Amino acid sequence: MARVVRTDDADPSSDARRLLTPRDAAARVLATLVPIAGAEVVVLARARGRILRGAIAAPRSLPPFDHSAVDGYALALRAVADGQAG
């Protein structure tokens, strides 16, 4: 099973430096989350430091042409291995 190491500067002999399982690490992160209360519409200039409530999309692609250095590609390894990628 994979292990996650805490990266704080606690005493290495203390329990704070023990290895955490991914489940324990996720539980600690989730325990710190709080719900976002309310929503409001603000102009972009006043949006700094705020949390976006929903998805946004650009009105056009930048750059406006195919450019493989920034477009990216993904492959399903099993499909490639089985010769099903197309």
Question: What's the whole-number mean pLDDT along residues 54-59?
Answer: 85
pLDDT surpassing 90 at residue 27:
yes
Helices (H) and strands (E) in the chain, counts: 3, 2
**pLDDT of the residue at 37:** 84
pLDDT surpassing 60 at residue 7:
no
Chain mean position to CA 20 = 20
**pLDDT of the residue at 31:** 95
DSSP letters of 55-84? ----SS-SSSS--HHHH-----HHHHHTT-
Domain residue extents for the chain: 4-64
